[in-house]
Structure 1
């Protein structure tokens, strides 16, 4: 019996030592790690306050929790008891110093002329450093928790061996010892397990932790600290959620206050936001549209396809000026909206959704129509008097030439040239107006585009030779015919070649290329002239646009606009590629006969 008692005493003593080791060796390290986590999270909140413009409040809070963090870091240094803990504490210290250095850099960024760069610096530098320090603190806490669990397991092992020894010695003694050991084991280990489970729940984001430990010893103190920690973390989490909700409401208010229509859809074309302006355009309400598929709410297939392509590719689709105009025929009078589609991505290029912007351009359309009508009317009214003036000048030059002095003859000749220039301008305006209104007669037939290029080159070969400009072409074999009005395409070619000659200096080179591009034939007119300034390129095909150069090359500013309308009437497109100082390449396409679907008839 004495042996049983001795064994029991020894076993219970070892069990008590194991439990004591759990409390003394790891409690302080866990507490230090948890307080460092809380301090670094408060410092991150202070950094966000600084970014939001609360400099004094953010800096003060950051410094307060810097002192708190360093205090608990020192305690962690003084309580290194397990393998690997020392190196981990050194890593925390080093990374925290990097974090403090980054904060100092962030404050300097806020004082620079470009404070917006501080936000990028926070996301790219400070936030990863904050996460690194926090993860090392969590790792320190987890390491000590694992040691606690290991000590708990050892305590259970000691208890089991004690029970085995007492069973072998005496059934009665073992029975009583077993009951006592189980009671003591339960009393000591159950709270530790409960605290361990609570710590795991906190680590997973569940802060609603309640512990039933009510003792006044270190175990009870640790339980109280864990509960307090969970409540503070829950308050901090709720604070962040509140900030996010406030930001969401602020964003919704901004979108609602914008006069232009805005629709935001996700990657699956589900509407996640729509402002009242966009809802009025499509005769719906934000409440009815939000959360539904775009195609279910808005009956506009082309617009839906453009949004779908953007959501799938992450790239803004190319739309011509006409394609980017949305006409709402249900409205009286008809309304026109210019729309743009923009993809929304994360920093790592992950697709989040698409933003559709709708701008009312009805007044601009009406002004453009009025301007076109005025130009057409004025051109018609000017044609007859200009013809009369031209005939009068010619008659005067023929009948009174001998009576006129050389100076008077030069004046009449200059007047005749000015009248001729005005007549050409009037004719260009009338032609452009007819094309824009669809009233120009076009003789569409299958024609050889290569033959048209050769004819256009022949018209300018002598002029190019006299100027000292090399005019060449590349015409591949087996290029299919195109369906076009030969005279109109000749007009386009001659205008492009004339422009190239006008801007190409002596010794320069103009090259015409013909290619097959899918269902289209592609014509390129390339020169090595001075090129087109970047600010002129987006509007080079607009009416009356002339590139300002040191030398006056003349022109009405209508040639390229007419080219654009003629090519568009044939179902093709025209564009320019130019680098200032390195020449320009004008390109236009025409559908080949096999793929052409031009069956329109233009009335006079």
Structure 2
């Protein structure tokens, strides 16, 4: 039977029980009301009329209105004849009353009338008694029937009240327990309901779902375990150290390389809180510190100092961080190659300086008139040799400076120096190329004789590089402004030209190594000058910047701390 049918039967029965109880109650009340009405309207009223006539019978001679009253009650009695024999007695009273009106003093007629009235009273009293017995029997009968029906309805209602909630609650509880088991991944849970209703259908659907989930769980478990084993093997074969943490920063896994770097075994610290491990492990503490997600670390490993690049990746699920993976990539071979390259460049640059200097000196001797005269073509060749030697010297100088930067061995000789000294040295160095392009060099030294703490040689090199670039990209007969200014505890140097300027999109990369602005006509530069300038200035605790707009020129500047 369907649940809807059960509910309909239960609620329908209660409705019918209420309806039957109401109908029987109304019917019994109606019957008793009719019985009472018959007694009151018929017999009781006759008794009233008869008693009135008996009282008036003795006063007919004394009271002139007595005859009228008697006549009135007699007419009412004649209209209310309901019992057997009552009609004959009433007719006799009428006949005797008519005679009495003609002979008022006849006592025998009064006696006959009184007897007939007594007959009427007796008949109605007997009728009242009989009807009262009938009313009592009817009331008793209805009462018994109501008690029987009420008892049956109460028994059935009690049975429904006891059993019907269980029909609803027990399947709901069974389904609730089953759902909780599924939530806890207990896919073996089944619901056994024998009833063939909506709950039975729901239980059957639940069991099918649980069976499918159980089948899916077991069918994929072996595959998942195999994939995990394969991933563990791949991770352990990698040369990089890999550490996995959950959302609560507890250790999930760690490969062999990470074990060697940390000096810990995965089985010993599995599931532990990473900050607790860091209390006794310097490397773990360094890995967990708040820093950029990419960082280079120097770690003693494999009996030597090794270099590792730190990468920290957040593992996200639905935009929520559920863990972290820490990767230590071994970049020691790249460091070794880079160091070898730097040493090679430094060695070659140093070795080239001597022959280049000899070539330059020989070119100068050839151009000396005391050695001998040269024709115009020879002078041009000598000049070309001299220019190429200067360019090679500049390149080797930049390469040597870059080798210092890359090895981190920038040798600084910090001392208090007046900005004017650095300005004069730089102006003297670039005066010849400036005169060749007829460029005016304007100087505004607003440093008020404040001394700066700097390496004058390297700072002069930077300022010279700025001026050289300004001259190179300024039009002939142009103007370059070199100025200084004091801001708080810093002295700022700026070089402003009115050349073609630099597009805004290239400004962030202008100080990168080997970067050249696309479209530049300079084919001789190495792209290292500005990068070395930044390293020199920042090594001295200063700042360097550029501001430029296409068609309006460029302004390069740096600031250094005051004494």
TM-score class normalised by the smaller sequence: 0.5 to 0.7
2:300 maps to what in 1? 329
The answer to whether structure 1 residue 374 and structure 2 residue 350 are counterparts is no
SS class of match (1:556) = coil
* 8 Å contact kept, 2:192–2:203: no
The answer to whether structure 1 residue 388 and structure 2 residue 352 are counterparts is no
Mapped to 1, the partners of 2:485 and 2:179 lie a distance apart of 65
Report the CA distance between 1:335 and its aligned residue. 0.9
1:99 maps to what in 2? none
Report the CA distance between 1:234 and its aligned residue. 1.9
* 8 Å contact kept, 2:501–2:549: no
Report the CA distance between 1:326 and its aligned residue. 0.9
For residues 71-118 of structure 1, give each alpha carbon's deviation from its aligned partner in whole angstroms, at most 9, with x where no partner exists: xxxxxxxxxxxxxxxxxxxxxxxxxxxxxxxxxxxxxxxxxxxxxxxx
> Residue 237 and residue 288 in structure 1: after superposition, are their counterparts in 2 closer, same or farther (change >3 A)?
same
> Residue 356 and residue 416 in structure 1: after superposition, are their counterparts in 2 closer, same or farther (change >3 A)?
same
Report the CA distance between 1:415 and its aligned residue. 0.9
Q: Give the stretch that moved more between structures: 423-432 or 367-376.
A: 423-432
The answer to whether structure 1 residue 365 and structure 2 residue 335 are counterparts is yes
1:444 maps to what in 2? 414
Q: 2:201 aligns with which of 215, 218, 225?
A: 225
1:280 maps to what in 2? 260
Q: 2:374 aligns with which of 398, 404, 429?
A: 404
Mapped to 2, the partners of 1:475 and 1:506 lie a distance apart of 25
Mapped to 1, the partners of 2:550 and 2:270 lie a distance apart of 47
> Residue 272 and residue 416 in structure 1: after superposition, are their counterparts in 2 closer, same or farther (change >3 A)?
same
> Residue 21 and residue 344 in structure 1: after superposition, are their counterparts in 2 closer, same or farther (change >3 A)?
closer
TM-score (norm 1): 0.54
- The 5 Å alignment of 1:543-562 reads 546=516, 549=519, 551-562=521-532
* 8 Å contact kept, 1:209–1:230: no
> Residue 470 and residue 273 in structure 1: after superposition, are their counterparts in 2 closer, same or farther (change >3 A)?
farther
- The 5 Å alignment of 1:450-469 reads none
> Residue 257 and residue 431 in structure 1: after superposition, are their counterparts in 2 closer, same or farther (change >3 A)?
closer
* 8 Å contact kept, 1:504–1:530: no
1:8 maps to what in 2? none
Mapped to 2, the partners of 1:336 and 1:265 lie a distance apart of 23
For residues 172-202 of structure 1, give each alpha carbon's deviation from its aligned partner in whole angstroms, at most 9, with x where no partner exists: 8756654443334444442222223344556
For residues 366-397 of structure 1, give each alpha carbon's deviation from its aligned partner in whole angstroms, at most 9, with x where no partner exists: 12222222223223333333222222222222
- The 5 Å alignment of 1:56-205 reads 177-201=153-177, 205=182
2:224 maps to what in 1? 246
TM-score (norm 2): 0.58
Mapped to 1, the partners of 2:548 and 2:285 lie a distance apart of 31
Mapped to 2, the partners of 1:475 and 1:555 lie a distance apart of 30
> Residue 286 and residue 461 in structure 1: after superposition, are their counterparts in 2 closer, same or farther (change >3 A)?
farther
Mapped to 2, the partners of 1:275 and 1:492 lie a distance apart of 48
Report the CA distance between 1:336 and its aligned residue. 0.8
For residues 427-461 of structure 1, give each alpha carbon's deviation from its aligned partner in whole angstroms, at most 9, with x where no partner exists: 33334444555665423246678997899699879
Report the CA distance between 1:556 and its aligned residue. 3.4
The answer to whether structure 1 residue 299 and structure 2 residue 264 are counterparts is no
Mapped to 1, the partners of 2:327 and 2:454 lie a distance apart of 37
> Residue 195 and residue 22 in structure 1: after superposition, are their counterparts in 2 closer, same or farther (change >3 A)?
same
The answer to whether structure 1 residue 23 and structure 2 residue 4 are counterparts is yes
Q: Give the stretch that moved more between structures: 434-443 or 184-193.
A: 434-443
For residues 111-159 of structure 1, give each alpha carbon's deviation from its aligned partner in whole angstroms, at most 9, with x where no partner exists: xxxxxxxxxxxxxxxxxxxxxxxxxxxxxxxxxxxxx7xx799579769
SS class of match (1:442) = coil
Mapped to 2, the partners of 1:335 and 1:155 lie a distance apart of 87
Mapped to 2, the partners of 1:355 and 1:473 lie a distance apart of 56
* 8 Å contact kept, 1:474–1:514: yes
> Residue 513 and residue 383 in structure 1: after superposition, are their counterparts in 2 closer, same or farther (change >3 A)?
closer
Mapped to 2, the partners of 1:567 and 1:361 lie a distance apart of 28
Mapped to 1, the partners of 2:485 and 2:209 lie a distance apart of 68
Mapped to 2, the partners of 1:362 and 1:415 lie a distance apart of 43
> Residue 264 and residue 554 in structure 1: after superposition, are their counterparts in 2 closer, same or farther (change >3 A)?
same
For residues 239-262 of structure 1, give each alpha carbon's deviation from its aligned partner in whole angstroms, at most 9, with x where no partner exists: 665659829837656645544333
Report the CA distance between 1:515 and its aligned residue. 10
Report the CA distance between 1:467 and its aligned residue. 6.3
**What residue ranges of structure 2 are gaps of 5+ in the alignment?**
25-142
1:338 maps to what in 2? 309
Mapped to 2, the partners of 1:553 and 1:155 lie a distance apart of 102
For residues 32-72 of structure 1, give each alpha carbon's deviation from its aligned partner in whole angstroms, at most 9, with x where no partner exists: xxxxxxxxxxxxxxxxxxxxxxxxxxxxxxxxxxxxxxxxx
Q: CA RMSD in A?
A: 5.5
Mapped to 1, the partners of 2:9 and 2:418 lie a distance apart of 92
Mapped to 1, the partners of 2:509 and 2:251 lie a distance apart of 32
Mapped to 2, the partners of 1:305 and 1:457 lie a distance apart of 51
Mapped to 2, the partners of 1:152 and 1:575 lie a distance apart of 90
SS class of match (2:325) = strand
2:501 maps to what in 1? 529
Mapped to 1, the partners of 2:527 and 2:199 lie a distance apart of 84
1:271 maps to what in 2? 251
* 8 Å contact kept, 2:193–2:203: no
> Residue 177 and residue 252 in structure 1: after superposition, are their counterparts in 2 closer, same or farther (change >3 A)?
farther
SS class of match (1:334) = strand
* 8 Å contact kept, 1:211–1:223: no
Report the CA distance between 1:548 and its aligned residue. 5.9
